[in-house]
Amino acid sequence: MRIEANRRDLLRWLATAGAGLAAAGIAPVAFAQEAAAAGTDVVVVSGVTVVDGTDGPARPDFAVVLVGDRIAWVGPAAEVPLGGSARIIDGRGRYLVPGLWDMHAHGIDYEDLWPPLFLANGVTGIREMQGYDENRITRDKIDRGELLGPRVVLASSIIDGPVSLLGPPITKVANAEEARAAVRTAVAQRSNFVKVYFYLPKDAFAAIADECRRQGLPFVGHWPYRLRVLDAAMSGQRSFEHLFGLPIATSSCRDEFLARLDATPFDPQAPRDFFNLARELDRRAAQAYDPAAAARHFAGLNASGSRLSPTFAVNRVISLPAGTFAHDPRNKYVPREIRDVWADRLPLFSPVTPEQIAQQEVYFHAQLRLVGEAHRAGVGILGGTDCQNPYVYPGFSLHDELDFLVEAGLGPRQALQAVTRDAAAFLGRADSAGTITPGKVADLVLLDADPLADIRAVRRIDTVVTAGRVLDRVTLDRMLADAESAANRPAEMVNARSERLPLHGCC
C-alpha cells in the first residue's frame, strides 16, 4: 500500500510540475489522472547525467520520470519527491542517452535472435530495409506488444529492374506501369517507405518517384545506375545507401566514368559484371577527389534534403580479407547456417592479393574522408549497419558504426545524434522520439561512461528502457545468453531462411 500511495503522490506532483508535458501539447493534470486510474508504472532515473540528444550541454544530477511508455518529466533530481515512491534507477555516475536507431538493418524476423540482440545493445528502433511477409508479421507482433523488440520502420519489397543481383522476394519491374503497381502494393502492405535498387530502368524510376508522391510515401535506396545521383535526389530519393556513386560524383573523372557506365548494358546472363565495374570505378574515383565537384554535389544533396547512409560496418567487412572475422566472438550469436552462407559468399567481394588488400584499405579510408567532407558541408548522415550481411551483427555493429562516424570526422555528439535525434527526424518522428524530452517515448539507454568524451562508451550499457519497459543488466545478460542458445540449436530447429539472406555485398 505504501508504494501505491507514494506513487499517487508522485503523480499528483507531476500534475503541477509537468511544464514539459504541457509544452509537448499534453495536459499534465489529465495525464497524471489517467496514469493514476490505470495503475501505470512510474520509473524515475535519478541522479544521472542526461545527454538528451539535442545540441544542449550534458546535464548532471538530473532525474527523468517515466510514466508508462512516455517521458513525463526531466529536471534537477532534487526537485523530484522520491522516498520510495516508484521504481528508482540509481543513475549516479552514469549517463542517460536516447535509444539508438540502426537505420539500415535486416533480419528482424529471426525473432529469437535479432530482436534481443538489438535491445541488449541499446538499439530500440530499426529501419528494416527489405519488406516481406515474415518481417511484416514480426513488426506487427512488436507493435501489439506480443514480442519484445525494437520499433520497426519497414521497407517495401525491394524494387529493381528485370535484370537484378537479387532473387525472390524482391519485386522486378520492367516499365512505368509495373513500377506504379509495385508502389501501390507497398501501400497495401503498410510499408513505411519504398526501397529502390541498382538496375531500375529510368522510366520505371520516374514512375516510382511520381507514384510515391501521389501516395505520400517516401522512397530511399541504392544509387539507380541509369540516373545521376543528384537527379535521383531531386526526384525525391531521400537517402542513398552504402556510398555507392559518391566517389564518382565528387571526382575529377566523374563525366568519363559515368559515360562508361551509361554505355555498358546490364547483362542478364552476368548481372554482377555491371556491379563490379561500378564498384571498381568508384574505387578509382576516390583517388581523384575534386573539391569543386564535391561542393556542387553536396550542395545538390542539401537542396533536395537527401541523406547519406554510409553503412561503414558492412563496407569495412568487404574491404578486408574474407577470413578476417571468422573467429569474431560475436559469431556465437549467429546460427551456423547463416555463418556458412557468409563464408561462402563473402569471397565474391573481399580482396585476396596483397595489391587488392592495399587498394581496398585506401578505398575504405577515402570513403571515411568523403563522409567527413559531406558532413562538414551540411549533408545529413544516417547511422546504419546493413546487419545480416557477412559479419555485421545486430546491435553490436551499430557501436562499430558510431566509431567509424567519429573516425570520419563527426564529433561524438554528432555521431550519437545521427542514430537518435537525426534518425527520428528523418523518419518523421521528431515529435515523438529521438531526444530525452517530456512527452516523447520512453526509449533510453543508461551508460556507465560518458559518450561525449568517448563514443565507445555506448558499449558500456547498464540498463535499456524500451517503450517504458526496463531491462536491467541482469535481464540484458539473460537475453544475450538466450540468443546464444537459440543460435546454437541444431540447424533444423532454427528459423532457417538462408536462401534469401541479403548477402550480395550490401542490401
Band (83; pLDDT cuts 50, 70, 90): low
Report how far residue 483's alpha carbon sits from residue 497's, in angstroms, rounded to the nearest whole number.
17
Q: Which of 347, 349, 330, 350 has the alpha carbon at shortest distance from 391?
A: 330
Mean pLDDT of 352-359: 97
Let me know: does 337 contact 491? Beta carbons within 8 Å. yes
Mean pLDDT of the chain: 94
% helix, strand, coil for the chain, step of 5: 45, 15, 35
On the question of pLDDT at 507 being above 80, the answer is: no
Mean pLDDT of 253-264: 98
On the question of pLDDT at 19 being above 70, the answer is: yes
Which grid coordinates belong to 59?
546535464
**What pLDDT sits at residue 2?**
40
Which grid coordinates belong to 455?
563514443
Which grid coordinates belong to 231?
537527379
AA letter at 401? E
Strand partners, 63: 46, 75
Q: Which of 428, 480, 425 has the alpha carbon at shortest distance from 98?
A: 425
pLDDT digits (tens, 9 = 90+) for 162-193: 999 999 999 999 999 999 999 999 999 999 99
- Reduced to 3 states (helix: H, G, I; strand: E, B; else coil), residue 88 is strand
Report how far residue 285's alpha carbon sits from residue 317's, in angstroms, rounded to the nearest whole number.
21
On the question of pLDDT at 349 being above 60, the answer is: yes
Q: How far apart are the first and last CA of the chain?
A: 54
Let me know: does 159 contact 171? Beta carbons within 8 Å. yes
Let me know: does 408 contact 372? Beta carbons within 8 Å. yes
On the question of pLDDT at 1 being above 50, the answer is: no
**What pLDDT sits at residue 8?**
80
> Rounded to 5 degrees, what are φ and ψ at 101?
-115, 130
Least confident range of 82-86, 199-203, 252-256, 387-391 = 82-86
pLDDT digits (tens, 9 = 90+) for 437-462: 999 999 999 999 999 999 999 999 99
- Reduced to 3 states (helix: H, G, I; strand: E, B; else coil), residue 15 is helix
On the question of pLDDT at 498 being above 50, the answer is: no
93-107 residues labelled b (16+ CB within 10 A) or e (exposed):
ebbbbbbbbbbbbbb
Let me know: does 199 contact 160? Beta carbons within 8 Å. yes
DSSP class of residue 251 equals B
On the question of pLDDT at 198 being above 90, the answer is: yes
Mean pLDDT of 296-302: 98
Report how far residue 482's alpha carbon sits from residue 475's, in angstroms, rounded to the nearest whole number.
10
**What pLDDT sits at residue 85?**
61
Mean pLDDT of 13-28: 91
More confident site: 36 or 156:
156
Residue with cell 530502368: 201
On the question of pLDDT at 502 being above 60, the answer is: no
Least confident range of 80-84, 329-333, 459-463 = 80-84
Report how far residue 443's alpha carbon sits from residue 66's, in angstroms, rounded to the nearest whole number.
10
AA letter at 388? Q
CA dihedral for 435, 438, 439, 441, sign (positive or negative) = positive
Least confident range of 18-22, 236-240, 319-323, 325-329 = 18-22
- Reduced to 3 states (helix: H, G, I; strand: E, B; else coil), residue 471 is strand
Least confident range of 3-17, 218-232, 382-396, 397-411 = 3-17
Domain at 100-436+485-500, CATH homologous superfamily = Metal-dependent hydrolases (3.20.20.140)
Let me know: does 473 contact 465? Beta carbons within 8 Å. no
pTM above 0.85, yes or no: yes
CA dihedral for 320, 322, 324, 326, sign (positive or negative) = positive
On the question of pLDDT at 245 being above 80, the answer is: yes
**What pLDDT sits at residue 346?**
95
Report how far residue 490's alpha carbon sits from residue 482's, in angstroms, rounded to the nearest whole number.
15
Could you count the other beta carbons within 10 Å of the beta carbon of residue 268?
10
Can you give the residue ranges of every domain in the chain? 100-436+485-500
pLDDT digits (tens, 9 = 90+) for 484-494: 999 998 765 45
On the question of pLDDT at 496 being above 50, the answer is: no
Residue 506 CB-density burial (10 A; 0-12 exposed, 13-18 middle, 19+ buried):
buried
**What pLDDT sits at residue 38?**
87
Total residue count of the chain as it appears in this document: 507
What value, to the nearest 5°, has the Cα angle with vertex 285 and ends 279 and 287? 120
More confident site: 99 or 33:
99
Mean pLDDT of 299-326: 97
Mean pLDDT of 114-140: 98
Band (37; pLDDT cuts 50, 70, 90): confident
> Rounded to 5 degrees, what are φ and ψ at 354?
-55, -35
Band (213; pLDDT cuts 50, 70, 90): very high
Mean pLDDT of 365-375: 98
Report how far residue 76's alpha carbon sits from residue 138's, in angstroms, rounded to the nearest whole number.
39
- In angstroms and rounded to an integer, the radius of gyration of the C-alpha atoms of the chain is 23
Which grid coordinates belong to 414?
554528432
Percent of the chain predicted with pLDDT > 90: 90
On the question of pLDDT at 21 being above 80, the answer is: yes
Mean pLDDT of 211-215: 98
